[in-house]
Amino acid sequence: MPEIFSIAEQVTVTRDGRIVPSERTAETTGDAVIATTTGKAPERLVKPHKGIEGGVLLSIADPSKPGAVDDAGFELRRGVIAALTGLRGCGIRCCPTGSTKE
């Protein structure tokens, strides 16, 4: 939303195929635009962040392959979603990459 307000002079919201409002950015707020777009107040759209509870479920310490991977260890904790992907099958043989999200 900050990007929209930093470059646009006017914001037009459509919902269900209709223009709801069209207002100058100087005369509205990001929260108002979100509420108009979704029909709900922004605070009702965001789920409260849960703290990560519990200890380590899985720990991989210092897996290495000389010349390719150094210290690619990680810990997986309760409440964290982790994904490991690789390029194998695409004609490339390389180390996997990873992503985590709380």
Domain ranges of the chain: 2-45, 56-101
Give the pLDDT of residue 102. Answer: 47
Position 43 confidence tier, pLDDT thresholds 50, 70, 90: confident
**Cα(98)–Cα(63) distance, rounded to whole angstroms?**
14
Give the pLDDT of residue 27. Answer: 94
Contact by Cβ (8 Å): 15, 37: yes
Q: Does the predicted model carry a pTM greater than 0.75?
A: no
Give the pLDDT of residue 90. Answer: 55
Position 76 confidence tier, pLDDT thresholds 50, 70, 90: confident
Position 25 confidence tier, pLDDT thresholds 50, 70, 90: very high
